[in-house]
C-alpha cells in the first residue's frame, strides 16, 4: 500500500513560469513532510520541509503548502530555472517512527529555457 503518492511522473514547464509538484498521503499519523531534489548520479538533497502545525513554509523560490484535511501537499517553484530540472521526491514521517521517511515515487521536472 503506497502511503505517499506522487501521481505525476513528469512535469515540463517554461523557464520563468511556476512549477507545481503535488503529493498525496494516506497515513493520518504523518505529521512532518519534506521535499528532496535529486540529480542523476547524485544522492537526494533536502529542499524544504513543513510540520503539520503549519499550512505553508517558504524558502526563497520554494514554497510548500499543506492541506491536512485533503491529505495533500504541494511544492511551488517560482520562478522556475533550468537548473531546477531534477527528480523531486515527497517524503513523510511521524513522531513515533524513529525518524523513518516514507518516500513517494518522484516527479521528473524539466524546465525548458
Partner 1 sequence: DVKVTQSSRYLVKRTGEKVFLECVQDMDHENMFWYRQDPGLGLRLIYFSYDVKMKEKGDIPEGYSVSREKKERFSLILESASTNQTSMYLCASSFQGYEQYFGPGTRLTVT
Residues lying near partner 1 in the complex (CB under 8 A): 6, 9, 32, 34, 36, 41-46, 49, 89, 93, 98-106
Residue 66 beta carbon to partner 1: minimum distance, rounded to whole angstroms: 14
Beta carbon nearer to partner 1, 41 or 113: 41
Q: Is the dihedral of CA 73, 82, 80, 17 positive or negative?
A: negative
- The residue written with cell numbers 511556476 in the block is 18
Beta carbon nearer to partner 1, 20 or 101: 101
Residue 104 beta carbon to partner 1: minimum distance, rounded to whole angstroms: 6
Beta carbon nearer to partner 1, 53 or 99: 99
In sequence order, the 6+-apart residues with CB closer than 8 A to the CB of 108 are 9, 10, 11, 86, 87
Instruction: Give the separation between CA 69 and CA 95, rounded to whole angstroms.
Output: 19
Amino acid at each position: 500500500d503506497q502511503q505517499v503518492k506522487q501521481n505525476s511522473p513528469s512535469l515540463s514547464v517554461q523557464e520563468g513560469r511556476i512549477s507545481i509538484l503535488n503529493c498525496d498521503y494516506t497515513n493520518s499519523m504523518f505529521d512532518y513532510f519534506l521535499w528532496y531534489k535529486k540529480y542523476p548520479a547524485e544522492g537526494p538533497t533536502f529542499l524544504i520541509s513543513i510540520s503539520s502545525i503549519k499550512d505553508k513554509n517558504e524558502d526563497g523560490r520554494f514554497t510548500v503548502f499543506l492541506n491536512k484535511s485533503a491529505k495533500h501537499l504541494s511544492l511551488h517553484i517560482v520562478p522556475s530555472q533550468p537548473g531546477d530540472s531534477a527528480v523531486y521526491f515527497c517524503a513523510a514521517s511521524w513522531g513515533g517512527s524513529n525518524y523513518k521517511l516514507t518516500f513517494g515515487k518522484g516527479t521528473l521536472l524539466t524546465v525548458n529555457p
